[in-house]
């Protein structure tokens, strides 16, 4: 039977000791009233709800799946009641503006509750998450009239939300979408077209569903500069909030997927559906990207959550499973065999997964900090924070989900053949986690965004400030016990800096170099970033290691990462240095 306990001790360490959350919040006037005791209560209650209500629905939801029947989608048994309990607890509006019924918690809080929810039930997590994302985009671009009417109902869970971007012929290249928006006499628009891969496009969890739809006006310019954003409700609301006639938008089918089967992934057909413009004409993509930065971090957190629950189950199994004897002599001579933990390779798999988890948790908080700064700070501080968010977003999405799946696979391998059997739950974690690398922009697209827009386009300016910060942070490591950690880290930072400059120089005369280098560069960037997270954690843990084994263990795991994981950086650097030629030398006919 699968097990899960929210990693609250490690979360509090990252929140309080590494990032000094209370001081950080007090430095930003809009967050100055965030109460640390209330945050603790939020974490405790989140753990209880997720462990006791949502976690038991994870396997049954996978087995039953979302069901489609003549346009009606039903979620698995227990989901509707759990969603109601989740909504009544205020969890949908946890990070929302109190103006619309939210609790005003910063991202540095919700990043932790998101991890817990993705760990226990990723399919369930997607339903409220899409509403939160839609509401975020609306809050910054819709009129006060629209926001005052819709947002309280989304945050209460009375209504849900979606984002409708992808079309059968248009995935990453949204500039070629065909969905049309024709003006009506009353100021609304008639939306017509088909959207695919729409998470929560239809379901039975809420009374109404608010779709945010990308479409083109009749006189729109070509390409991505001609995309507008529209709000299209499933049911037309009356002025008092009661529901009127059904709008002409419906699910045509749901996808039959590898994983997250309890999440309804819909084909949505808009047949002259009535909608309202959000923001300015032809600026819909910019409005949608307000939510995309948050959503992409969430996909990275999905990988983290899966890897955490997989680790917990693999560690428990390794402690209990008796197989073979230690190479150095029996450790449990009174038993027929020793535990799996006597074998170095089993430890390697568990330690790698745990290292990914602890560095990923710290990186998620680091990214959340800059999201909070970009949102709540002012002037130059806010601008610099937005630049850092732009740099980190593709890494948070791609590297965290890549290493999340890798950690989940390593944990599955600890079970041997039992990891392939449904009863242990590990195969579901693998299937559910794979999608995190694919949706919200595949990880290859994230890598191209990092390399092209965030590195080459500004001649490495974003990376230069990040490198300077990392070097300054390394100076906090003082003493013989962290000298090796410091040396390895600074060498990796120098390697990343040199690699960045080399790719920028090569791309100047050969545009293919950007995409050819992208994935390996992002992996190199992520490896150094996780090393940076261990530096930040080690700086706090080193002075306290004698007082608590938690801190000594943190330093030991940092040593493992630097010596057994970070060397992968060398191979990534060599791959980038090989350039585009080995890839592009083949004629199309070869394939």
Phi, then psi, of 266 in degrees rounded to 5: -110, 150
For 139, half-sphere exposure in the C-beta direction (CA atoms, 13 angstrom radius) is 22
Interatomic CA distance for residues 63 and 307, integer angstroms: 21
Contact between residue 518 and residue 445 where contact means Cβ atoms under 8 Å apart: no
Query: Per DSSP, which regions of 238-300 are E strands?
Result: 243-246, 249-254, 265-278
Q: Which structure tokens are listed for 494?
A: 């120098």
DSSP state string for 185-226: TTS-EEEEEEEEEEETSS-SSSSEEEEEEEEB-TTPPSGGGG
> Which helix H or strand E contains 543, and what residues bound it?
none
Catalytic residue among 167, 308, 358, 440: 440
Q: Is the dihedral of CA 167, 172, 176, 179 positive or negative?
A: positive
Interatomic CA distance for residues 561 and 68, integer angstroms: 46
The closest alpha carbon to 262, from 73, 487, 423, belongs to 73
Confirm whether 440 is a catalytic residue: yes
Cα pseudo-dihedral 443, 448, 454, 460, rounded to 10 = 120
Tokens 């939300």 belong to 161
Residues 6 or more apart in contact with residue 418 via CB below 8 angstroms = 317, 424, 426
DSSP letter at 276? Answer: E
In whole angstroms, how far apart are CA 246 and each of 181, 207, 213, 336?
Answer: 19, 12, 17, 67
Interatomic CA distance for residues 358 and 29, integer angstroms: 30
Active site residues: 440
């Amino acid at each position: 039977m699968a097990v899960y306990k929210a990693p609250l001790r490690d979360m509090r360490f990252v929140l309080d000791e590494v990032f000094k959350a209370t001081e950080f919040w007090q430095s930003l006037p809009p967050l100055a009233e965030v109460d640390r005791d209330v945050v603790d209560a939020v974490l405790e209650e989140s753990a209880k709800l997720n462990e006791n209500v949502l976690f038991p629905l994870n396997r049954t939801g996978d087995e039953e799946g979302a069901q489609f029947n003549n346009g009606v989608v039903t979620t698995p048994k227990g989901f509707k009641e759990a969603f109601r309990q989740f909504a009544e607890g205020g969890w949908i509006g946890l990070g929302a503006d109190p103006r619309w019924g939210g609790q005003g918690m910063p991202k540095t809080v919700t990043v932790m509750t998101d991890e817990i929810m993705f760990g226990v039930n990723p399919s369930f997590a997607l339903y409220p998450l899409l509403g939160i994302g839609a509401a975020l985009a609306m809050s910054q671009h819709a009129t006060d009239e629209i926001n005052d009417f819709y947002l309280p109902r989304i945050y209460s869970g009375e209504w849900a939300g979606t984002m409708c971007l992808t079309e059968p012929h248009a995935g990453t290249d949204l500039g070629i979408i065909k969905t049309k928006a024709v003006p009506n006499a009353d100021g609304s628009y008639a939306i017509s077209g088909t959207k695919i891969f729409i998470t929560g496009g239809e379901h039975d969890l809420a009374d109404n569903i608010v779709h945010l739809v990308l479409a083109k006006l009749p006189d729109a310019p070509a390409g991505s500069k001609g995309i507008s954003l529209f709000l299209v409700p499933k049911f037309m609301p009356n002025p008092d909030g009661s529901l009127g006639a059904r709008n002409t938008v419906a699910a045509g089918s749901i996808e039959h997927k590898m994983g997250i089967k309890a999440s309804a992934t819909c084909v949505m057909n808009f047949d002259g559906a009535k909608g309202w413009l959000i923001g300015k004409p032809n600026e819909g993509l910019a409005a949608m990207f307000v939510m995309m930065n948050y959503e992409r971090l969430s996909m990275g957190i999905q990988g983290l959550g899966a890897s955490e629950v997989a680790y917990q189950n693999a560690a428990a199994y390794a402690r209990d499973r008796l197989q073979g004897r230690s190479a150095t002599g029996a450790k449990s001579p009174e038993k027929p065999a020793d535990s799996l933990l006597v074998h170095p390779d089993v430890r390697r798999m568990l330690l790698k997964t745990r290292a990914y988890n602890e560095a990923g948790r710290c990186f998620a908080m680091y990214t959340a900090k800059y999201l909070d700064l970009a949102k709540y700070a002012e002037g130059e501080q806010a601008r610099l924070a937005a630049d850092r968010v732009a740099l980190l977003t593709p890494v948070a999405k791609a590297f965290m989900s890549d290493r999340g799946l890798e950690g989940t696979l390593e944990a599955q391998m600890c079970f041997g053949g039992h990891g392939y059997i449904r009863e242990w739950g590990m195969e579901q974690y693998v299937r559910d986690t794979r999608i995190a690398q694919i949706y919200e922009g595949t990880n290859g697209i994230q890598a191209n965004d990092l390399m092209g827009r965030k590195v080459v386009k500004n001649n490495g300016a974003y990376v230069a400030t990040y490198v300077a910060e990392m070097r300054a942070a390394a100076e906090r490591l003082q003493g013989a016990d962290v000298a090796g950690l410091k040396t390895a880290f600074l060498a990796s930072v120098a390697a990343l800096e040199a690699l960045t400059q080399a790719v920028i120089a090569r791309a100047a005369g050969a545009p293919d170099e950007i995409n050819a280098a992208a994935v390996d560069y992002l992996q190199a960037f992520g490896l150094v970033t996780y090393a940076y997270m261990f530096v930040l954690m080690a700086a706090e843990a080193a002075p306290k290691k004698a007082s608590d084994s938690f801190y000594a263990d943190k330093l030991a795991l940092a040593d493992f990462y630097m010596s057994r994981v970070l060397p992968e950086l060398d191979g990534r650097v060599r791959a980038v240095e090989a350039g585009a030629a080995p890839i592009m030398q083949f004629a199309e006919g070869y394939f």
